[in-house]
Amino acid sequence: MTPAKQTKKQLKLLSKAPTGIPGMDEITGGGLPQGRPTLVAGGAGCGKTLFAMEFLVNGAIQYDEPGVFVSFEENADELAQNVASLGFDLKKLGKQKKLIIDHVRVERSEIEETGDYDLEGLFIRLGYAIDSIGAKRVVLDTIEVLFSALTNQGILRAELQRLFRWLKDKGVSAVITAERGSGTMTRFGLEEYVADCVILLDHRVNEQMSTRRLRIVKYRGTLHGTNEYPFLITKNGISVLPITSLGLDHQAPAGRVSTGIKELDDMLGGKGYFRGSSILLSGTAGTGKSSLAAAFVDAACRRGEHCLYFAFEESANQILRNMQSIGIGLASHVKKGLLTFHVARPTLYGLEMHLVTMHDLIQYHKPEIVVLDPITDFFAVGSSVEVKSAITRIIDFLKTNQITSLFISYTEEGTPNESVVGVSSLIDTWISLRNLENRGERQRGLYVLKSRGMAHSNQIRSFELTDAGIKIGALDLAGRRAEFNPA
Amino acid sequence: MEKSKPRARSRSTEKTWELRLYVAGQTPKSLAAFANLKKICEEHMAGQYHIEVIDLIKKPQLASGDQILAIPTLVRKLPAPIRKIIGDLSDTERVLVGLNLREQK
């Protein structure tokens, strides 16, 4: 949507070769530069070969652009085996003349250099492979092997320069992989020759969590995001998670959905939440947030709507038992398949993996309601910046799909913690639950901190959990009754 | 360039050398390589060698078989092991080392 609008305004369109990798084409505005070489650099195990292979395979299958994979390290069988688990059948593509894998083996011990030479043999091999299937995409993985095999660096560098010019003349979109250097971008300075587009892949372990990041260092002729984008290698290949994959052009649905409790609906303009909005329930421990969420879910399931409940602290059975004790029976909804629980500790894997898991499950179940209970623990997995960006992505994704989302967050007594403050700006409706001590008794109080787009009550109401469900009523303040004007 | 025919195949137990010279057209480097090669062969293994010249411009598909990258490349196919000598073969000493004609003492 938005990237397309941008490119139309440019005078001379830089054509792009789409990678077909989820998220990648979004952050590059369409893909890699067509007809030009792209350098993909990273440490060992970063995913360079996989990236290059996906570029080629997707090109062959989805965009009708045959490709040649020149491998300097692994042979054709090894490569085919490595990507078989992703569902890529390289042998079949070879038979269909959509893909050629050329294994170039250089053995230093076999070679003796005796005078002037050039690398025309490589050019001829490559040219032959490209011409034989009309390839439009080429991968060289990784040409640095030549640096260890041939001692005459002068000849090698001159020939590399010639090679990249030759590739441009051939009109192929090339991906060149290279090992990350210490101090320099690549070990052998390939970035001097491949200057049109440079992508860095990174794989780091932080506090026992491993994350993969991708960064577009350079992309001539295109406005590109310069941030680091987290990515995952899933069972389907690489998945890049752009921060805002979908500009802020969500629809603003006007429909309303009941909170499950009539009095709370009354506090929210008489009708409840906006459909497709994001709701935050915050409060100290034991204030009844999960119960509120359960009431909402219960009402939705009774209407026949599907709910996806992501539980990060308690098991599904525990939640069912807890809710049963206040008269909310969710077990029948689970049996009917209207309510699905997904339970995982936040520390189980990295933020990105959580995001992808949620994406996948949401796309699979297509719920109308999603609950995240609680989000507070995620701040132990990542920094507040990372968690906020992760939640932003989830909210964007849910809003685009008009899914109403409920987030539960724990706060400390007294001050709202930074996690809540950081996230609250993304939220449409914020309900806060407090413990109020009065005359030696504790009452639970509930009030609506904000609710965009509607008139809402600003009264603190009492909030009780009884056998028969949740009761919201007037606070008992022993004679002191503050009257606030609603809204 | 034509194939060079062996002058006389010795029937003794002396090794017979199978050599392949890969070139790409008749460039000065390729011509120099061939000339240098003939000279070395005549000097060191007269009558026991067989040179095959392969022009990759005419037959590009043969480049992958012997894993040819550089031009010119001389491949010693026999006797084993395979050795590749790249360059115009102007450095005779290196050629002889590469062909294992100079023993490393």
Q: Does residue B8 sit within a domain?
A: no
pTM for this structure? 0.74
Closest CA to A430 of A275, A309, A268: A268
* Residue pair B75/B83 in contact by the 8 Å Cβ criterion: yes
Please tell me the distance from the alpha carbon of residue B27 to that of residue A33, in angstroms, as a whole number: 35
User: Residues of B numbered 36-55 whose beta carbons fall under 8 angstroms of chain A's beta carbons: which are they?
Assistant: none
Phi-psi region of A376 (alpha: psi -120 to 50; beta: other; left: phi over 0): alpha
Residue A52: is its pLDDT beyond 70?
yes
Rounded mean pLDDT of A365-370?
A: 92
| Full DSSP string of A371-411 | EEE-SGGGGGTS-HHHHHHHHHHHHHHHHHTT-EEEEEEE-
Out of A113, A117, A122, name the one closest to residue B29 (CB).
Answer: A117
pLDDT digits (tens, 9 = 90+) for A298-321: 999 999 999 999 999 889 999 999
Q: Does residue B83 sit within a domain?
A: yes
DSSP A89: -
Query: How far from the centroid of its chain's Cα atoms is residue A236's Cα?
Result: 14
**Burial class of residue A314, CB neighbours in 10 A (0-12, 13-18, 19+):** middle
Q: How many domains, chain B? A: 1
Please tell me the distance from the alpha carbon of residue B49 to that of residue B41, in angstroms, as a whole number: 7
Q: Does residue B3 sit within a domain?
A: no
* Residue pair B67/B34 in contact by the 8 Å Cβ criterion: no
Is the Cα dihedral A89, A91, A95, A100 positive or negative? positive
Q: Does residue B67 sit within a domain?
A: yes
* Predicted pLDDT at B10: 43
Q: Does residue B34 sit within a domain?
A: yes
Query: Cis (ω within 30 of 0) for the bond into A211?
Result: no
Three-class SS state of A266: helix
* Predicted pLDDT at A375: 87
Please give the single-letter amino acid code of residue A57.
V
Walk me through the domains of chain A, giving residue ranges and CATH numbers: 2-240 (3.40.50.300), 256-474 (3.40.50.300)
Rounded mean pLDDT of A219-244?
A: 78
Query: Cis (ω within 30 of 0) for the bond into A374?
Result: yes
CATH number at residue B93: 3.40.30.10
Look at B60 and A113 and tell me if their CB atoms are within 8 Å: no
Contacts B60 to A, Cβ<8 Å: 124-125, 127-128
* Residue pair A328/A295 in contact by the 8 Å Cβ criterion: yes
Question: Which of A119, A120, A132, A159 is the best mutation test for B, with the most CBs of B within 10 A?
Answer: A120
Name the interface residues of A facing B (CB cutoff 8 Å).
Answer: 102, 104-106, 110-122, 124-125, 127-128, 146, 150
Element (H, E) at B79: none
pLDDT digits (tens, 9 = 90+) for A153-169: 888 899 999 999 999 99
Q: A235 pLDDT band (50/70/90 cuts)? A: confident
Residue A295: is its pLDDT beyond 80?
yes
Q: What are the residues facing A139 on neighbouring strands?
A: A69, A175
Three-class SS state of A350: coil
* Predicted pLDDT at A480: 44
Rounded mean pLDDT of A50-57?
A: 95
Q: What is the radius of gyration, based on Cα positions, of chain A?
A: 28
Q: A487 pLDDT band (50/70/90 cuts)? A: very low
Shortest alpha-carbon distance between residue A96 and chain B (Å)? 19
User: Residue B45: which domain range?
Assistant: 17-98
Rounded mean pLDDT of B57-69?
A: 88
Q: B16-28 in b/e burial notation, b at 16+ Cβ within 10 A?
A: ebebbbbbbeebe
Q: Does residue B71 sit within a domain?
A: yes
Rounded mean pLDDT of B13-24?
A: 82
